[in-house]
Structure formats: structure tokens, C-alpha cells
Amino acid sequence: MDKKTRELIRNKYNNRCAYCGVELNSNFHVDEIVPVRRKYKYMPAHWKNTITGEIQPILPEGANRIDWQHRSAKYAPDGCHNPENYNLQNQNPACPSCNINKHEMSLEQFRKLIAGFMKHLNEHSTQYKIAKRYGLITETNIDVKFHFEKVNYALNN
């Protein structure tokens, strides 16, 4: 993605994460609202000639080891399943935390995940429960609204 497109996406919601509204820094992520599911192919371990680019499963007999580099097995990117979703209208600026948590979820799945955080904290976080007892935290039980929804609502009303 070129810098110009990245900046257009960053400024979509005034340099704020489309989901939580936090101000973005230079390492913000670009999220596809409707996921672009990347495909990967398995690349077995191999030897690659650093001069010619030739690939061999085993080091050729008599080969000069200086010209060959061993590559470990890995999964390498190999296109995507939904290339039509890779467009500016389907991309939102996101803080790393929101983008990593959203992953390939739909907006409604992501909303449901966030809504479940309170239950999880009440069940599993001693620090959270203590902070709540001391009045440092007040639960509101409000519906999860994303920053971009609030901005769009304000613009349309």
C-alpha cells in the first residue's frame, strides 16, 4: 500500500481508530471491515542460490556453499480469498489493539466480543474486582458503539 492511500485511510476519522476512537500513532493498522482472507502456501525447506535464484530441495553435489543459502520450511503469502474486499471503502484505520482483537471478525462479532469483556473481567480478574469494590471502576452496561458509528451519526444529524 502506498503512503498516499495509507494517509487517506488514517484521516478517515480524523486520525482516530475507527473502533475505539483513540488517537493513532505512526504504527496504526489498516483493517478490512469485511475481511480479506489471505491465502498461504507451504514452502518446504530448500536451498536457494543467492546469485541465480535457483531453488533445490537438497544442496546440489559439488555446489559452492557460499552461493547457496538454506531456507527453513514456512508458510508464505499466496494471494487472498476475497480480493474484491481490498478497497478504500472497505478499509478503516485501527489501533493495533483493536485490529488484532477484531482479526477476521465481522463488526457484529467484534461488538459481541467487546461486550463480553466485562463478564470475563468479573469472573477472572481479581484486580478488576478489587478496583470495582473500591469505586475506581463503574460499570455502565451500555451498548458497544464504535467510533465511526458515532462520527457518522453526528454527521447525519
The 10s digit of each residue's pLDDT in 94-152 is: 999 999 999 989 999 999 999 999 999 999 999 999 999 999 999 998 999 999 999 97
Q: How far is CA 144 from CA 5, 77, 92, 117, 125, in A?
A: 29, 34, 18, 11, 21
Q: With 70 as the cut, is the pLDDT of residue 54 above it?
A: yes
pLDDT of residue 110: 97
For cell 469472573, what's the residue?
Answer: 123
Q: Which amino acid is it at 76?
A: A
What is the per-residue pLDDT for 77? 84
Average pLDDT over every residue of 49-76: 90
Is residue 39's pLDDT more than 90? no
Predicted local distance difference test score (pLDDT) of residue 26: 92
Tell me the per-residue pLDDT of 63-94, one tens digit each, with 9 for 90 and over: 888 899 999 999 988 888 888 888 999 999 99
Element (H or E) spanning 128, and its range? helix 126-133
Average pLDDT over residues 7-24: 97
Cβ contact 30:2 at 8 Å: no
Give backbone dihedrals phi and psi of 67, rounded to 5 degrees, phi first.
-85, -5
The pLDDT value given to residue 35: 87
Q: What is the pLDDT of residue 157?
A: 61
